[in-house]
Amino acid sequence: MELLDGRSLANELTQAQQMAVTQLKQQGIIPKLVVIMVGTDPASTIYTKNKQKRAAKIGIASELKQLPDETTATDLLALIHQLNEDATVDGILVQLPLPKQINEDQIIQAIDPQKDVDGFSPVNIGKLWLNEPGLVACTPNGIMQLLAAYNIDIAGKNVVIVGRSNIVGRPLAALMLNANATVTIAHSHTVALKALTKTADILIVAIGRARFFGVDDVKKGAVVVDVGINRLEDGSVTGDVDFEALKTHVSAMTPVPRGVGPMTITMLMAQTIEIAKGRAKRG
């Protein structure tokens, strides 16, 4: 089995990003990302810290706006409008999930589509499904880059995606379709799920259930991308597939951790830098 090592690819790309940022700074432009986090979801806190660390390493200015749990939609919208208008801010990311008193769709729609580093705004989602250039959701984007780096062909392949969230499954289906795969999206209503996953040349799982898929559910020689992040009682992290059992069964597979996660953050940085390059061009 070939290990699709997201962490080492992320490290490689980080070096190129450091150079790109150095060049931008010579032109007087400092790429800037603002991450908004409402409340204190423990998983979000870890990811947010990872993002801050990576930004610092690359030289991207990153500001964390930590808002209390009881923040209202009105307060959050006011902050987003202010950041939309701030010419020094390139990327805006609102960490999801939001507390239940806040309507996520309304918040995402308020972000300027040109600063929407997550690629979640309706404008960017529309462009993605039309196969037009735009900002793309970071986790799916990272998966595509990881597969490309390992020369895994996608055109004509049967790709099965398990999970249909706005963050992972749906945008990934669009990217795979744009790359000429034959795409099936499965979810909790799918009948005979594991018979379906067994037909996949490339299987991508994002459901958030520890070691849900085993050897019997995967075609021999398939490529497996595991997006799931599940924290076990002992504090360790594992994916949605039984990695140890699949090792000798598949042709290539991402580990968890150090697979898709680091690539997600890399894509976030990449898009922040691209937006800042646009700012440099406009002068």
Ligand X SMILES: NC(=O)C1=CN([C@@H]2O[C@H](COP(=O)(O)OP(=O)(O)OC[C@H]3O[C@@H](n4cnc5c(N)ncnc54)[C@H](OP(=O)(O)O)[C@@H]3O)[C@@H](O)[C@H]2O)C=CC1
The interface with ligand X within residues 89-108 (CB under 6 A) comprises none
| Cα gap 147→255, rounded to integer Å | 13
Active site residues: 51, 95, 118
Cβ of residue 199: shortest distance to ligand GUE, in angstroms?
A: 27
Task: Closer to ligand X by CB, 34 or 172: give it.
Answer: 172
Q: Is 95 in the site for ligand GUE (CB under 6 A)?
A: yes
Contact between 197 and ligand GUE per CB under 6 A: no
Binding residues for ligand GUE, rule CB under 6 A, total: 21
Question: In angstroms, what is the minimal distance from the CB of 39 to ligand X?
Answer: 16
165 is in an annotated binding site: yes
**Is 58 within 8 Å of 18 (Cβ atoms)?**
yes
Q: What are the structure tokens assigned to 169, written together?
A: 């499954």
Q: Strand, coil or helix: what is 246?
A: helix
CA distances from 269 to 56, 94, 203, 205 (A): 11, 15, 26, 24
DSSP letter assigned to residue 32: E
What is the C-alpha separation between 85 and 63, in angstroms, rounded? 16
Give the phi and the psi of residue 222 in degrees, each rounded to 5. Answer: -70, 165
Residue 94: other Cβ atoms inside 10 A: 24
Known binding residue 236? Answer is no
Distance CA 1, CA 112 (A): 43
| Residue 30 interacts with ligand GUE (CB under 6 A): yes or no | no
**x/- site string to ligand X, residues 229 to 268, per CB under 6 A?**
xx-----------------------------xx--x----
User: Which partner from the list ligand GUE, ligand X, none does 193 bind, CB cut-off 5 to 8 Å by kind?
Assistant: ligand X
Return the number of the residue (44 or 178) whose C-beta is nearest ligand GUE: 44
Q: Which of 161, 181, 156, 180 is nearest to 171 (CA)?
A: 161
Give the one residue of 206, 225, 241, 268 binding ligand X; rule: CB under 6 A.
Answer: 206
Binding site feature residues for NADP(+): 163-165, 229
The residues binding ligand GUE (CB under 6 A) are 44, 46-47, 50, 93-96, 118, 138-139, 167, 229, 237, 256-258, 261-262, 264-265
